[in-house]
Amino acid sequence: MHSKNFPFIIKTSILYGALAAAFSLIGLSSPEADIIGSPLEVSNVTIEHVTGHIVLGMMVGIVTLSLRYFLLGGIFSIILDADHLIQFLGIEIVPRMAHSVSFGIIAIFVMMMVFGKRDYLLGAIAFAAVLSHISYDILLTGTAGFPFFTPFTNELTTFQGADWILMEVGAIILVGISVFISRRKKMEKRL
C-alpha cells in the first residue's frame, strides 16, 4: 500500500465516524424521538451484517480504480453505524440519523474542507457510503425505515424489496461521475 494511504484512511474514517455519531444530536428535540435501547440488544450485530456493509461499500469504491477509495468505500459504509452509539445514552433520540441525505451532503462538505477541496472522490465516497449502507440494510432485512429526509421530516421513510439495487446503483453512478469530473480537472490542469 502507498505509504500515505494508511494515515489518510485512518484520519478520514475517524472523522466520518465522529460526524455520523454527532449528527444524531440533531434529532434530540424531535417529537419522533424515543428511547430505542442498546444497539447490542435491538440491532442484529453479526459478522454477516458487518461484512455485507463492507462488501457493498467496496463495490462502490472499486469504481475509482484506486486502492485508497476502494478501502474507504467499505470502511465508511460500515462506520456510518456510529450513529447508533447515541442509543447507549438511554435518552430519547431518533435512531439512524446518519442514514439520511442531509448527513451525506454535510459529510461531502466537511470531508472535502478538512482533507482536500479538490478531492472529489472523497466527497463522492462520503455520500455514496450512505447509499451503499442503506442498500445492505434493505437487502438484509427485506424492509427498513430511516429518517432519510431529516431534518425536513423525522418520520421514517421505508424502503423494501428491490430498493437496495437502486441505492447501490445510485452510489456507483455518483462515484462514477466524480471519477469523470476529477479526470477532466486533472486534464485541464495539464493543458
Binding footprint of Zn ion on the chain (CB under 5 A):
81, 137
What would the DSSP string read from start to end of 6-49? HHHHHHHHHHHHHHHHHHGGGGTT-TT-EE---HHHHS---HHH
Cβ proximity to Zn ion, 21 vs 179, nearer residue? 21
Cβ proximity to Zn ion, 104 vs 178, nearer residue? 104
In sequence order, the β-bridge partners of residue 93 are: 34
Report, in Å, the least distance between residue 113 CB and Zn ion: 25
Report, in Å, the least distance between residue 7 CB and Zn ion: 27
Contact 90, 155 (CB under 8 A): no
Report, in Å, the least distance between residue 106 CB and Zn ion: 17
Report, in Å, the least distance between residue 91 CB and Zn ion: 20
Report, in Å, the least distance between residue 21 CB and Zn ion: 13
Cβ proximity to Zn ion, 108 vs 139, nearer residue? 139
What number of other Cβ atoms are within 10 A of residue 71's Cβ? 21
**105: which residues sit within 8 A by CB, 6+ positions away?**
127
Contact 76, 16 (CB under 8 A): yes
All three cell numbers of 30: 424531535
Cβ proximity to Zn ion, 44 vs 153, nearer residue? 44
User: Which residue has the closest beta carbon to Zn ion?
Assistant: 81
Cβ proximity to Zn ion, 15 vs 140, nearer residue? 140
Tell me the CA end-to-end span of the chain in Å, nearest whole number: 30
